[in-house]
Chain A
Amino acid sequence: MMKGRAVHPRKKKAKRGRTALAGARAEIARLRGTLAECANEALRLREEIAIASDLMTESRRARELRREQDCARLADEHAHLASLHVASTRLLESVERDDVLCAIQEIVANLIGSEELVVYSLREDTRMLVPLTSMGIDAARIGDVPLGCGVVGRVAESGEAYVDEGARGGKDVGALTACIPLVLRGRVLGVVAIYRLLVQKPALEPSDRQLLQLLSTHAAVALHCSGAGRVAQLAS
């Protein structure tokens, strides 16, 4: 009977140790892999958080910007309505002809931004526009204007306002910026011719057009009530 060789116990122990070590190394490698995956996941989550945070900041900024824009728009609207209100009140409180003409000058100078204007009254019998008052315009340039003649005459004839969209402040001496018919119940009583804008006024704005529109109707009423038409007749 053959007798098997017995394995030395120390060798057995060493073999077990090597096996355990290999297992431990494999486990470490597996854990390292898991750790790397976790690190990647953490990185990805950090990026997602950063994006979400950016989006929230952006959204907050957008909200703040919108609020600022709304405030600025409301302030503009308030200022514009205030201008319309004071202009309207100024015209409607004017009883005497000179006061009405002075009100027109104040509105054009202080609210629209021009210190060069002529106010004409239309004489229906002669079909001529007669200057009632002027500001900042050389007297030699001011005279009667036949109805339908030139921009001023055509505005009086058609009742349609003229506005030079390209008008710029401080430039083009003598250039007409706007010509507004003074209309009462569809009848043209006269016109306001506005020439050069003030140097600090870059251009006419939409709010100025509303002021011109107000001038067209309210100034006509005020002039009519003050008897300017009759005065023009007497002046002839």
Chain B
Amino acid sequence: MAEVTMRRVLVVDDSAMIRALYKQALARVADCALAFAPDGAQALAYIKREEPGLVFLDVNMPVMNGLELLEQLSREGVLGRVRVVMVTTEGKPEDVGRAMSLGAAGYITKPFRGEQLLAALARELPSQS
């Protein structure tokens, strides 16, 4: 029987409700292991420790916001190994441009649909099984 390689995904959002929504949307992906962080600082520690393949990252959060975290990851050269997709209510073109220039691999605006998350997962971290 072939061994399943789990895709490790970190969701960074300060809203427990949104984290629950991610859980609902990605629950049907059998080879996806989800982890959660409520702010940028906790996310940074997790990313350094675990190096997940993909991070869904909110912008407006306490302690360290999403753009600050993205900047930090870019400075530390982590973005080559960890893909980051921004998921935020900030939908103006300049917001998208800033995140992409900092090295984000994708940008999803809230309110999002589960299908958008699934598409981003398939695009940025394709299944190995």
A87 touching B114, Cβ below 8 Å = no
B29 at the interface (CB under 8 A from A): no
Residue of B nearest to A79 (CB): B114
B92 at the interface (CB under 8 A from A): yes
B115 at the interface (CB under 8 A from A): yes
Residues of A within 8 A of B20 (CB): 86, 89-90
CB-CB under 8 A for A79 and B91, given A90-B16, A103-B17, A106-B17? no
State in angstroms the CA–CA spacing of A48 and B114 once bound together.
46
Number of residues in B with C-beta < 8 Å to the partner?
17
A110 touching B114, Cβ below 8 Å = no
State in angstroms the CA–CA spacing of A106 and B21 once bound together.
12
Contact among A83, A103, A112, A198 with B91 in the assembled complex (CB-CB below 8 Å): A198
Say how far A54's CB is from chain B's closest CB, in angstroms: 32
> Which range contains the number of A residues in contact with the other chain?
20 to 34
State in angstroms the CA–CA spacing of A109 and B87 once bound together.
13
Residues of B within 8 A of A200 (CB): 91, 109
CB-CB under 8 A for A86 and B91, given A79-B115, A110-B17, A112-B111? no
Residues of B within 8 A of A82 (CB): 21, 24-25, 114
Say how far B95's CB is from chain A's closest CB, in angstroms: 10
State in angstroms the CA–CA spacing of A56 and B91 once bound together.
45
A109 touching B17, Cβ below 8 Å = no
B33 at the interface (CB under 8 A from A): no
Contact among B24, B25, B111, B114 with A111 in the assembled complex (CB-CB below 8 Å): B111
B98 at the interface (CB under 8 A from A): no
A–B complex contacts, Cβ < 8 Å, 20 sampled: A75-B114, A76-B113, A78-B114, A82-B21, A82-B25, A85-B24, A86-B17, A86-B20, A87-B17, A89-B17, A89-B20, A103-B17, A106-B15, A109-B89, A110-B15, A110-B18, A110-B89, A113-B110, A198-B110, A199-B92
**Which residues of A pack against B, CB within 8 Å?**
75-76, 78-79, 82-83, 85-87, 89-90, 103, 106-107, 109-113, 115, 198-201
